[in-house]
Amino acid sequence: MAPAPFVAGVPLSTSVFKADIFKGKVLFCTGGGSGICRGMTEAMMKHGADAVILGRQINRLTKAAEELTKSTGRTCIPAQVDVREPKTLAAAVAKTIEQFGRIDYVICGAAGNFLSPISNLSENGFRTVIEIDTLGTYNTIKATLPHLRKSKGSYVHVSATLHYRATPYQVHVSAAKAAVDALSSVLAIEEGPHGVRSNVLAPGPVANTEGADRLSNKSNYLEMKQTLPLGRVGAIEDCANAGVFLFSDAAAFITGQTIVVDGGNEHLRTSYLPYPQAVLDPASIKDMIPAKL
């Protein structure tokens, strides 16, 4: 029998940091309705923070906010936004200030991705990912920065490792996330004198996320599980715990950095897709690629 493809990460708990380290603090998280960003929000709330989660699907956000409030004992509220539209972010910031009076931490996690070779990628498809990932991060920073200056707060931008080495069929998100990394670095040096920190969290392959489902399949994860130095694929909890660290006082002198959470995968990484046949014959993975982008 083949081994299970996924192994859970360290549980979201208060065993490392005190349960109240974020008491009285407020988290503002784009993309917080699901996946890694929801996991990061849950971890912050378990350590005392209240939160606002943002995204386009209000039903999913409302359900997630109710579940997070119930499971953590803190307050989480949903706010419907499109990070490409600054007015929606401004309204969400106003709602946050009205509810909580402050913003201390921001997770820029809204993202879009799909598989496509450059030859099949439309200008609109490329632009859409750039607008969500890069422009959306910029818009989120612009909307929240005055409040983070007041609170001497901190940003964590959820990036990726795809652009560290060329990844086929990922030109759009590679370009977008490389820009996010650069944006964070400049933000760190410009806003450091104001007491604001900015760091990047770059997950590698993380199980049970939308991105993982779109970019890979069970056999890929089985292979990575056998080759990764730590012997397993990443879990949402791994990213969540790293986020707690970056926002905590333990990281008070860390800014402008990228924390890679990938179990050592970047040092060994090969393409998610079989190379070169996937590039020479896109039909070999046709079930993973939309017909028109």
Annotated active-site positions, please? 159, 177
Complete edge-to-edge strand list for the sheet that includes strand 76-80: 76-80, 50-55, 26-30, 105-108, 154-158, 197-203, 258-261
On whether the CB atoms of residues 163 and 176 are closer than 8 A, the answer is: no
Q: 94: Cβ–Cβ under 8 A, 6 or more apart, which residues?
A: none
Structure tokens at 191: 């806003």
Q: How many helices (H) and strands (E) does the chain have?
A: 10, 7
Structure tokens at 86: 């600054």
Q: Which residues pair with 157 in a beta bridge?
A: 108, 200
Give the whole-angstrom CA distance, residue 57 versus residue 237.
23
On whether the CB atoms of residues 248 and 40 are closer than 8 A, the answer is: no
> Residue 6 carries which DSSP code?
-
On whether the CB atoms of residues 107 and 37 are closer than 8 A, the answer is: yes
Give the whole-angstrom CA distance, residue 224 versus residue 99.
44
Give the whole-angstrom CA distance, residue 28 versus residue 62.
15
Give, rounded to a whole angstrom, the gap between the first and last alpha carbons of the chain: 39
